[in-house]
Amino acid sequence: MIKVAFFDTKEYDRASFEQYNEDVGVSFKFLETKLTEDTADLAKGYDAVCVFVNDTVNAAVIDKLYGFGIKMIALRCAGYNNVDVKHAFGKIHIVHVPAYSPYAVAEHAMAMLLASVRRIHKAYNRTREFNFSLSGLTGFDFHGKTVGVIGAGKIGRIFIDICRGFGMHILVYDRYPADKDNEYVELDELFARSDIISIHCPLTDETRHMIDRNAITKMKKGVVIVNTSRGGLIDAEALLEGIKSRKIGAACLDVYEEEADVFFEDRSGHIMDDELLSRLISMPNVIVTSHQAFLTEEALNNIAETTVTNIKSCFENNGICNNELCYRCGNIEQCKKERKEKCF
């Protein structure tokens, strides 16, 4: 039996993973606490740990887990910016879930965009108070507008298909263009021409704060920005300044750079310490959801199934792990796919 310490457990995690508990040779210990250097001791006696986006998997945590004999870290998400993959190389295998449901995230991005542009969230609140005035609810047609999509991976391409269904003109920026069906442009051109910008790329050292003060100055007045990827892709202070100056017409944020101690928790009875987030939420043209774009039944089931398969592959295939993040050649996600052998 492979014993796994499961950190940062939520009710929906337990529901999707319990169906696999022990029946397939994997036993989960569900822990509500996040993984940090202080809580890593809870992993003693286990073979692996399972973590999510706001768990801390830095060098200190990795060294602790390695000292406890942990063989692998299974991320139940696609992103891995919270993991020191380079430091883990040669010590602990790191696996992730590269594609749980790209439809879930792309559809949520469009749902936020529709709600924002057509003021649906405002209309909902009004009518609950029997206020049926239409004043201040004017939106704009999507048809004929230009949407700039940053990142043409699986999620980005599905979002592009959705936008195409609305009759929108599509610009795409991606460092590695993968098709000829879309108009690929440089980032500055995308900023300058887009009425709407939606971000669908990973957070890396190169992409951190790709939307900053300088980028915002290049954008159209009234641009709508959507981010369902990682909070660190946007400089939140610059975003707030752009909103206050009326340069940015609206923002739809499912992620936030400093979300780790806020999102996924009920903070309704607490004073919000993060003044920047409080100010963003208070803006009438900002919609914030708490990293819920992935949250569909299909995605949760796919995450659980893939995570369990990843774990079993590492222990049953002599270290050749499904969906491993390997630092051997620096090309983290592609390395093992090209070599088709274990990373170490």
Catalytic residue among 93, 108, 157, 259: 259
Single-letter amino acid code for the residue at 267: R
Residue 291 annotated among the catalytic residues of the structure:
yes
Single-letter amino acid code for the residue at 338: E
Q: Are 299 and 16 in contact (CB under 8 A)?
A: no
Token readout for 225 is 């920005």
Residue 96 annotated among the catalytic residues of the structure:
no
73/327 Cα distance (integer angstroms): 14
Cβ neighbours, 10 Å, residue 10: 13
Cβ neighbours, 10 Å, residue 216: 21
Length of the chain: 344
69/48 Cα distance (integer angstroms): 9
Catalytic residue among 291, 305, 324, 339: 291
Catalytic residue among 76, 93, 200, 230: 230
Which residues are marked as active site? 230, 259, 291
